[in-house]
Structure 1
Amino acid sequence: MSGFKGLAVPGPTNMPFEVRQAMDVALEDHRAPDFPEFTLPLFADLKKAFKLENGHVFVYPASGTGGWEATVANLLAPGDKVLASVFGQFSYLWVDMCQRFGLDVDAIDCEWGTGVPVELYEQKLAADKEHKIKAVLVTHNETATGVTSDVKAVREVLDSLGHPAMLFVDGVSSICSLPFDQEAWGVDVAVSGSQKGLMLPTGLGIVGVSQKALDNRPKQGFPKCFFDFDDMLKTNKDGFFPYTPATTLLRGLRASLDMLFDEGLENVWARHHRLAEGCRRAVDAWGLSLCAKEPKWNSDTVSAIVVPEGHDANDVIKAAYHKYDLSLGAGLSKVAGKVFRIGHLGYMNELMVMQALSGAELAMRDAGIPFESGAGVGAAVDYYASTEQSAALAAQ
């Protein structure tokens, strides 16, 4: 089929030309004496992206899952108790990893379409008089269901109770897309990946760790080698790595951060909200609903759209891909066949969202889902046009 393929999944996301160009370079010597001239400013700017003033941001040739494993291996010890909640595939996988490590996991099973149950967290933490809970896990943005949770509220609970547990956040599909402030929110660990808001190929697991967490690592922890924080700290301080880094991806990361800072992180967050709201207006105009049970859970990086009873979301996804060269996200685990997902994060603008919405309408028509043709696209057009006009008027 001629023309460009449409990518509207919540990761990997669309890659800017500037990032691709930055990676189109000859391979380099990662032990060269001038390599730190590139890496040290990069490490510093990664902290700015996480809004982390102290601590360190580790960059592994891995994925977000590697970042999770590095966190568990370095900051917890066998038998430690952690508090978590499961409300989607990725929050489940984090719990599964902790269980495989032999941790004592108190996992609250939540309805998919809701998020972190802050009130239940508070009850369990208040009851933990002996402070056996060593870490509290929060999946900031559950990509499987299009749900965003309140990280700051969890920190406020910990502080109000005087509970010393560390706060671990999965920010894979939120950092550099949604409002996130690691230092101000008291987040001890924030895990991200290169293929989402950072607009890169998959291949970098990025972990922001607070100084408090680094200073309080267990003396008798898990065995580790590849993910050892100590090895990274010793070499990173001089601008190097304990093993061969993904230098080409690091060059792309430099270009990505430059683009994000040129736009301004707050503006990036506002853009994501506006694009997501246009998508939500379209879903409402189709007469469909989001997997997110209430507006407070709505994600600004991905919308999981529930198909009507008696229809299979996979029929929409297959038609979009095979007939119209558009990739939509599939439902995972409990929501498989029940939702299709539109990712609206990273390198994205109104026209790209409109492409996804138009393709979804074509595919839904082929799948026999009833709706008024153009209703969703029209609702998004009206929203984008009116908000652009409001912004222009406010600037005058």
Structure 2
Amino acid sequence: MAGRNHLYVPGPTNIPDEVLSAMHVPSEDHRSPIFPELFKPLLEDLKKVFKTETGHSFIFPATGTAGWEIALTNTLSPGDKVLIYRFGQFSHLWAAMAKRLDFEVIVIERPWGEGIPLDDLEARLKEDGKHEIKAILATHNETATGVTSDIGGVRKAMDAAGHPALLFVDGVSSIASIDFRMDEWGVDGAISGSQKGFMLPAGAALVAFSQKAIAACDTAQSRRAFLDLKDQLASNKDGYTPYTPSIPMLYGLRKALDLLLEEGLENVYARHYRLAEGTRKAIAAWGLELCAKPGFESNTVSAVVVPAGKDARDVIATAYSKYNISLGAGLNEVAGKVFRIGHVGDMNDVSMLGAIAGVEMALLDNGFDIKAGSGVAAAIEYYRTTA
């Protein structure tokens, strides 16, 4: 098929040409005297994206999933209680990991389409008078359902309950795209990955930890080796890594951080809101609904619910085979019930209109009762009048 594949999944995202070019480098000695000139500024600039001045940032040759494990095993001991709300595939997987690592996991089920209920969280923490819960695992942006939770509100609930638990946040599909404030929100472990808002290939776990979390490493009894924060701290202070890094990934990250900081993080957040809002206007014009309930809508991914009698997988298959557009599939409990439109990373109004047009054609091809041009027109009107 002529032309490129158009990637409108919520990750991996499109990689800017400048980042691709920056990654095209020869092999390099990661023990050379000049390596710290590359590596140390990366750690400092990552802190700007996480919005922390007091925490430490880390780069692991891994993924966001490894970031979950880094947070858990470096700060906790087997048998420790952790609390997590399950309302999508990724909160589900994080809870499952915690169980496999021998923590006592309190899983609170919520409807898929909602996020963390702050009143319920505060009440449960107040009931935990002995402070047996050692960590809260909060999914900031649930990619499977297009739901964003209020992490600032989570911190307020914890403070209102006077609870000392660690706060770990899965920000894989939010950090570098949606407003995130590590220090202000009292986040102890912020977890992200390279392949979404950072506009890189998959392969780097980009994480940051508070001083409180790092201090917990001294008493944590969980076994760890490759993912040990202490090994990173010992090497990072001199500008090195404890094992061989991906040099192309580091050069790509350098360029990606430059692009994000040059645009300005507040402008990055505003652009993602625009991309999402135009998409939501189109979805409403088609007469379809989001999986996310009002107030929980994500600015990086929209999970669109198909009517009864329709299968979202047919829309995805048509979009890919006929129009060369990649959309996200429904996962687990919403498999076949939703398709996902990613609006994250290196995108603008016009590229988003391409996604909306491709989805609209696939919907029409699959017999959806929509008017041709309705979604595109709604998005155009929004983008044109709010530019």
Tell whether the structures are fold-level matches, with TM greater than 0.5: yes
Does the alignment pair 1:176 with 2:189? no
Does the alignment pair 1:298 with 2:297? yes
CA offset at residue 367 of structure 1?
Answer: 1.2
Q: Distance in 2 between matches of 1:323 and 1:279?
A: 21
Does the CA-based 8 Å contact 1:141-1:147 persist in structure 2?
yes
Does the CA-based 8 Å contact 2:74-2:217 persist in structure 1?
yes
Structure 2 residue matching 1:124: 3-state secondary structure: helix
Q: Distance in 2 between matches of 1:255 and 1:69?
A: 27
| Equivalences for residues 110-149 of structure 1 within 5 A | 110-149=110-149
Letter in 1 for 2:254: R
Task: Give identity over the alignment, percent.
Answer: 56
Q: Distance in 1 between matches of 2:110 and 2:256?
A: 35
Q: Distance in 1 between matches of 2:279 and 2:27?
A: 41
1:66-97 superposed Cα distances (whole Å, 9 cap, x missing partner)? 11111111011100001110000000000000
Does the CA-based 8 Å contact 2:286-2:370 persist in structure 1?
yes
Q: Distance in 1 between matches of 2:206 and 2:108?
A: 27
User: 2:195 matched to which residue of 1?
Assistant: 195
Does the CA-based 8 Å contact 1:10-1:302 persist in structure 2?
yes
| Equivalences for residues 44-63 of structure 1 within 5 A | 44-63=44-63
Letter in 2 for 1:271: R
Letter in 1 for 2:278: G
CA offset at residue 351 of structure 1?
Answer: 1.1
Q: Distance in 2 between matches of 1:326 and 1:194?
A: 22
CA offset at residue 220 of structure 1?
Answer: 4.5
User: 1:205 matched to which residue of 2?
Assistant: 205
1:224-274 superposed Cα distances (whole Å, 9 cap, x missing partner)? 110011110000000101100111101000000000000000000000001
Q: Distance in 2 between matches of 1:308 and 1:150?
A: 29
1:368-393 superposed Cα distances (whole Å, 9 cap, x missing partner)? 111000000000000001101xxxxx
Does the alignment pair 1:319 with 2:299? no
Task: Tell me: CA distance 1:198–1:188, structure 2 relative to 1, closer, same or farther (3 Å).
Answer: same
1:322-354 superposed Cα distances (whole Å, 9 cap, x missing partner)? 111000000000100011100000101011111
CA offset at residue 285 of structure 1?
Answer: 0.2
Task: Tell me: CA distance 1:220–1:70, structure 2 relative to 1, closer, same or farther (3 Å).
Answer: closer
User: 2:18 matched to which residue of 1?
Assistant: 18
Structure 2 residue matching 1:67: 3-state secondary structure: helix
User: 1:394 matched to which residue of 2?
Assistant: none
Does the CA-based 8 Å contact 1:76-1:218 persist in structure 2?
no
Q: Distance in 2 between matches of 1:218 and 1:80?
A: 15
User: 1:83 matched to which residue of 2?
Assistant: 83
CA offset at residue 52 of structure 1?
Answer: 1.0
Does the CA-based 8 Å contact 2:8-2:326 persist in structure 1?
yes
| Equivalences for residues 83-102 of structure 1 within 5 A | 83-102=83-102
CA offset at residue 182 of structure 1?
Answer: 0.3
Structure 1 residue matching 2:106: 3-state secondary structure: strand
CA offset at residue 55 of structure 1?
Answer: 2.0
Does the CA-based 8 Å contact 2:74-2:220 persist in structure 1?
no
User: 2:333 matched to which residue of 1?
Assistant: 334
Does the CA-based 8 Å contact 1:147-1:299 persist in structure 2?
yes
Structure 1 residue matching 2:318: 3-state secondary structure: helix
Q: Distance in 2 between matches of 1:162 and 1:337?
A: 42
User: 2:254 matched to which residue of 1?
Assistant: 254
Letter in 1 for 2:88: G
Q: Distance in 1 between matches of 2:327 and 2:152?
A: 31
Letter in 2 for 1:48: K
User: 1:361 matched to which residue of 2?
Assistant: 360
Q: Distance in 2 between matches of 1:38 and 1:207?
A: 18
Q: Distance in 1 between matches of 2:28 and 2:217?
A: 34
Structure 2 residue matching 1:317: 3-state secondary structure: helix
User: 1:36 matched to which residue of 2?
Assistant: 36
Does the CA-based 8 Å contact 2:75-2:219 persist in structure 1?
no
CA offset at residue 311 of structure 1?
Answer: 0.3
Q: Distance in 2 between matches of 1:130 and 1:333?
A: 36
Letter in 2 for 1:309: A
Does the CA-based 8 Å contact 1:77-1:218 persist in structure 2?
no
Relative to structure 2, which stretch is displaced further, 50-59 or 296-305? 50-59
CA offset at residue 219 of structure 1?
Answer: 2.0
Does the CA-based 8 Å contact 2:76-2:222 persist in structure 1?
yes
Q: Distance in 1 between matches of 2:16 and 2:363?
A: 29
Task: Tell me: CA distance 1:218–1:235, structure 2 relative to 1, closer, same or farther (3 Å).
Answer: closer
Does the CA-based 8 Å contact 2:74-2:216 persist in structure 1?
no
CA offset at residue 216 of structure 1?
Answer: 2.6
CA offset at residue 143 of structure 1?
Answer: 0.3
Structure 2 residue matching 1:297: 3-state secondary structure: coil
Q: Distance in 2 between matches of 1:80 and 1:72?
A: 10
Letter in 2 for 1:80: D
How high is the TM-score relative to the length of structure 2? 0.99
CA offset at residue 218 of structure 1?
Answer: 4.9
How high is the TM-score relative to the length of structure 1? 0.97
User: 1:4 matched to which residue of 2?
Assistant: 4
User: 1:344 matched to which residue of 2?
Assistant: 343
